[in-house]
Structure 1
Amino acid sequence: MTDRDPERPIDRLVAGALEAGEPTGWFEPLYAAAREGEADVPWDHGAPRPRLVEWTQERAPRGEGRRAVVVGCGLGSDAEFVAGLGFDTVAFDIAPSAVRGARDRHPDSPVRYVVADLLAPPPDWAQAFDLVVESLTVQSLPDPPRAQAIASVAGLIAPGGTLVVVASARDAADGPVAGPPWPLTRAEVDAFATGGVQAVEIRELRDDAPAGHRWWRAEFLRPAA
């Protein structure tokens, strides 16, 4: 089990939120502190996730104005990439400061950045998107409410639509971690295949290094009606 570092702003925020029983309560304080230059958002590298880019290079998904949603969009790098593929893109985050930051960073963007909660998404988003991108958001949640978040992501996929998941990987036998992140086990990745959604491909990948970071990159489909 890894330990949190009380000297890191993110770890202090996470510990406080979990103690208060608010597992998503640390996102807004983190992004607000980042806007003031008082903290770093560790997953923001100003570019789309390489594993997402690789998936699009292999699959060449058709945008053509079809609808896409980016889950937990943060400051918008993945959302801008998806919109650049021709998708009519919605991107959401639970943190208002993240959404403001994304709009500030991409002032001329066609992406619609909105504040929304993955655990209670707008009803009209149910099975509404031809492409759903979930990159590193579910792994930022403990369980609970992780299982609820997984089901909610799957519920966004339209008939005939695709979900791509990018997440850090771990073995269940490794035991608990303090997080965040809380890397996903294979069983947790498999759990996105729910409510009629089917797994197309689940890959475990490793960064180019002798002890490189382990990743899941998974694709799911909701069959057309």
Structure 2
Amino acid sequence: MTEPAEDPDVASRRLAHESLAEDDPTGWFERLYSAAQDGEAVVPWDRGSAHPLLSDWIETAQPDGTGKRALVVGAGTGWDAERICDLGYTTTAFDISPSAVATAKQLHPDSKVEYRTANLLDPPAEWHHAFDLVVEIYTVQALPIDLQPAATKQVGEQVGPGGTLVVIAVVRSDEVTDEQLEGPPWPLSRAGIDAFGTDDLQLIQLDRVPSPSSPTYAQVRAEFLRD
């Protein structure tokens, strides 16, 4: 008798804990995408389309990417990046997992997106303040809590003058403490969302969608604008 497949969320947590035990807190991404590439795992957040909150933002804001550059953080298999590229942006999308980048290129063989392997915690110097639009969806919350401040800072550092940052994340209520999170993911607090902002990168819009499964969590889309 064939054993039932491991639940994708359980599998991702197991791989993360294995990496953490080896003092490699970001290595589980490659383990997961490599296993998925071999048909041995499922990436829990791979939707096969752009995130609905990103699509909704596009329909509402109607951004024109003509002559502009965009960066998609932790792009995974590329669905969000392809949606952004369709708006006319010259789009760079990166992931720390080489297998994720390879899968994105396979899924979108005629893509105009530049898919790259890179580390959010140590991004290429030429990306600093270089993009008119930066999109971050679920990447920071997939990192252990002690790495989240550095990752948050690096996301904002890639937004250029006059540029926009769109952050989509699961947010926990104030009653849920860091110690209660088993992860991954490690959902952000409201303060964690606010931390993307700086003196010249201001929060201009915050939309919240309650979770249908738990009153202590919600999906949040935050839009920031750099002076």
CA distance in 1, matches of 2:213, 2:123: 40
Indicate which of 3, 12, 18 corresponds to 2:14: 12
Deviates more, 1:150-159 or 1:53-62: 53-62
Indicate which of 108, 111, 117 corresponds to 1:109: 111
User: Any stretches of 5+ residues in structure 1 without a counterpart?
Assistant: none
Off by >6 Å, runs of 4+ in structure 1: none
Tell me which amino acid in the other structure corresponds to 1:135.
I
Q: CA deviation at 1:211?
A: 5.4
Give the TM-score normalised by structure 1.
0.92
Q: CA deviation at 1:169?
A: 1.4
Aligned counterparts, 1:32-181, within 5 A = 32-175=34-177, 176-181=180-185
CA distance in 2, matches of 1:55, 1:82: 11
Q: CA deviation at 1:204?
A: 1.7
Partner secondary structure for residue 149 of structure 1:
helix
Q: CA deviation at 1:9?
A: 2.9
> 2:202: which partner in 1?
198
Q: CA deviation at 1:174?
A: 1.5
> 1:216: which partner in 2?
220
CA distance in 2, matches of 1:184, 1:11: 17
Partner secondary structure for residue 172 of structure 1:
coil
Tell me which amino acid in the other structure corresponds to 1:95.
S
CA distance in 2, matches of 1:111, 1:210: 35
Q: CA deviation at 1:203?
A: 2.1
Give the TM-score normalised by structure 2.
0.91
CA distance in 1, matches of 2:10, 2:192: 28
Percent identity of equivalent pairs: 48
User: Any stretches of 5+ residues in structure 2 without a counterpart?
Assistant: 1-6
How many residues in Structure 1 have an aligned counterpart in Structure 2? 218
Aligned counterparts, 1:178-193, within 5 A = 178-193=182-197
Q: CA RMSD in A?
A: 1.8
Closer, same or farther: CA 105–198 of 1 in aligned 2, 3 Å: same
Partner secondary structure for residue 173 of structure 1:
coil
- Alpha-carbon contact 1:154-1:195 (below 8 Å) kept: no
Partner secondary structure for residue 169 of structure 1:
strand
CA distance in 2, matches of 1:79, 1:167: 17
